A = this chain, B = another copy of it.
Amino acid sequence: MTSLRKAPTMADVARLAGVSPMTVSRAFKRDTSVSEATRDTIRKAAEELGYVFDSAASSLRSQRSDFVAVTIPSINNANFAETLRGLSEGLKDRGLQILLGYTDYDIHEEERLIEQLLRRRPEAIVVTGGKHTPRARRLLENAGIPVVETWDLPDAPIGHVVGFSNAAAVRGMIDHFVARGVTRIAFIGGDADRDTRGTDRREGFVAAMQAHGLDASRLIAAGAPPISMREGAAAMGRLLESLPDTEAVICVSDLSAFGALTECQRRGIAVPEAIWIAGFGDYEIAEVSVPALTTINPFPREIGAAAASLILDVLDGRQSQPATVLIRPELLIRQSSR
């Protein structure tokens, strides 16, 4: 299985095919002038030798790595997975691969990760969120490549931005609830500021409630972000016991909202009759659950697609100034709040 002889190089392929290494190099690229016959001979020679192109050597010489670095908080998250899908579909036609890393919702981990990723000399880098350590910020600023911050609207963007205001999105939901006469509203979220988008949503909740002159103190901390279904359920239990007159609860994500819903089901509390529940993210579960969950769709796929097209524009010289693409989240009122 493990071959002991050295792996073949382009020179070996060239020798077998009876051409120069340069011609082999050309044969492996598109849009380069090599006759079909030669290309075929080379392909066969490569296949026969079991030659596999060496990107390290190629990158070093050409100073192009052909990949785009991406950081996301967690791989196990349908929203970020969609963003990634939008990104990779937008980039793959150009032969750009994605080099992925996840931060575990920790900006220090993000700093380490960004440095690791930059060592591979990506053509561009897409990061989730707009809050970074000072060093991470410096690294991104000095990288000399397009930087796209997503899922957020940073106060001082590093480069390009594709995002939305998490706070404003939650405010829209509260405005809707208040207009329907529901005012005793609680918020279930994480107990730390690791998840900056979660923090923005909580702060958006507080600000919006205060703007309406309402009590913004019904805040339930459900644990370290990201909040799981289980933690959402536990938090709902505490809410029902400590503040039983709560009329509606907004959860930091659909997963915790679903957990909260199940806790109501276990306790025989009717949703939406006794209490309204809403989430964030428009995960599949929000549409499928019974009752379906009111939520906010942040168009994660579009975020990725927009970031990809921004990157291509910059790389092709069609865009030189830092741009901000504003995503407009959509409020989806479902059975859990009516």
Contacts and interface: CB of A to CB of B under 8 A. Distances in A.
Given A144-B3, A228-B284, A56 B60 contact: yes
A33 interface: no
A18 interface: no
A210 to B, nearest CB: 33
The 10 closest A-B pairs by CB, nearest first: A76-B81, A56-B59, A265-B290, A229-B288, A50-B142, A55-B119, A56-B60, A53-B119, A3-B144, A75-B81
Interface residues of A, number: 59
Interface of A: 1-3, 7, 50, 52-57, 59-60, 65, 74-78, 81-82, 84, 97, 99-100, 115-116, 118-121, 138-139, 141-147, 158-159, 228-230, 233, 255, 258-259, 262, 265-266, 284-285, 287-290, 322
A61 to B, nearest CB: 9
A147 B56 CA distance: 21
B121 A54 contact: yes
A198 B184 CA distance: 46
Contacts of A75: 75, 81, 84, 100
Contact of A288 (B3, B116, B233): B233
A78 B146 CA distance: 31
A94 B75 CA distance: 22
B229 A138 contact: no
10 contacts: A1-B141, A52-B118, A53-B119, A55-B56, A56-B121, A76-B82, A230-B284, A230-B287, A262-B289, A266-B290
A7 B65 CA distance: 15
A60 B22 CA distance: 18
A35 B142 CA distance: 29
A262 B284 CA distance: 12
A98 to B, nearest CB: 9
A215 to B, nearest CB: 29
Contacts of A158: 1
A169 B248 CA distance: 42
A35 B50 CA distance: 44
Contacts of A118: 52
B52 A115 contact: yes
Report which residue of A2, A74, A143, A159 has the largest number of chain B beta carbons within 10 angstroms of its beta carbon: A2
A1 B121 contact: no
A146 B1 CA distance: 9
Given A1-B159, A262-B289, 14 more contacts: A1-B158, A3-B144, A54-B121, A55-B121, A56-B56, A56-B60, A56-B121, A57-B60, A75-B75, A76-B76, A76-B77, A230-B284, A255-B284, A262-B288
Contacts of A76: 76-78, 81-82
A41 B59 CA distance: 30
Contacts of A228: 284
A59 B59 CA distance: 11
B258 A56 contact: no
A60 B60 CA distance: 8
